[in-house]
Amino acid sequence: MTASDREHLKIFAGRAGRHLAEAMCDHLGLPLGQGSSTTFPDGEVIVKVEEDVRGRDCYVVQSTCQPVNDSLLELLVHIDCLRRASAKRITAVIPYFGYARQDRKDEGRVPITAKLVANLITAAGADRVLCMDLHAAQIQGFFDIPVDHLSASPVFIEHFLENRGDLGEIVVVSPDVGNVKVANMYANVLGCDLAIVDKRRQSGSEVVVKNLIGEVEGRTVLMFDDMISTAGTVCEAAKLVMERGATDVMVSATHAVLVGLAMERIADSPISTVNVTDTIPGGDRLAPIAGKANVLSVARLLGEAVHRIHHDQSVSAMFRSGAGTKR
């Protein structure tokens, strides 16, 4: 970073993004923007920017993870604070975008909350959004401002290529039919076969029939997904492939949501390793699966994207290797 960058580029952090913002600043050779987020006794959030941002290119790093509503409101207040302090451009860096699963009306009289959140972020004063592995890629179109959609796939691919010799014969397994395209991309890049878990409900019955399309016997199974929420799908898929003769199961997911019975399910499952990124703060939260959890950082990816946005360079050029985002 040049002296001009250090003067004109400012990265600030919400409480759910400080760990990533600090790592991004280390990668870019920048100091973290001075600011604070606290709450009144009644829970109202207070944000204060403690340095001059007039005419600067400002970025706010905040995942809208648990507590989701508090994290979201803190992001909105931070954006409003920078707008009223006369920042030239404000980019909301949202490594994990909450409410992404409410992206359509799948039954009558329900909201499309992902669109509502997009409207709130725009109304607060954001000029653009930088996010990672949206649960539904079409959410980019919910915004009326530019959206840069990153993928954590380069981080996972780099990890597995570095450890390729220790994995033996591998096969990528899609834990459900909806994830086949992403799984196929990983299989192509890693140069291995693809298998698919097909779950169907029998007509007139509550019994779920699970079929496996492809061969896993004697192989290490790799599964990839954008998030692990309750872990039900991946744990059931892991049991199935082990029953079919797989020697090991490794699961990788960008967002470690891990709610409900997720920890217990993973701990009791045949999954040996769960690779997740730091889009959501981990820390003590991952203690129940400490023996299986492996946290990979996306700070370098996000930092490079911020650098490119600041200098009006292509962000999509970062993914020309074929390890692109979900489409």
What amino acid positions are annotated as catalytic residues?
Answer: 199
* CA geometry: angle 236, 241, 245, nearest 5 deg: 145
Pair of tokens at residue 220: 């290490």
Phi, psi (degrees; rounded to nearest 5) at 124: -65, -25
Pair of tokens at residue 62: 């905040």
Whole-angstrom distance, CA of residue 154 vs CA of residue 77? 32
Question: Is residue 185 within 8 Å of 199, Cβ to Cβ?
Answer: no
Partnered with residue 191 across adjacent β-strands are none
Whole-angstrom distance, CA of residue 302 vs CA of residue 27? 10
Q: Which helix (H) or strand (E) holds 131?
A: strand 128-132
Pair of tokens at residue 177: 């039919």
Phi, psi (degrees; rounded to nearest 5) at 125: 125, 10
DSSP secondary structure of 217-274: TTSEEEEEEEEESS-HHHHHHHHHHHHTT-SEEEEEEEEE---TTHHHHHHHSS--EE
Cβ neighbours, 10 Å, residue 79: 27
Between the two ends of the chain, the Cα-to-Cα distance in Å is 32
Specify the 3-state DSSP secondary structure of 94. Answer: strand
Question: Is residue 158 within 8 Å of 318, Cβ to Cβ?
Answer: no
Partnered with residue 194 across adjacent β-strands are 172
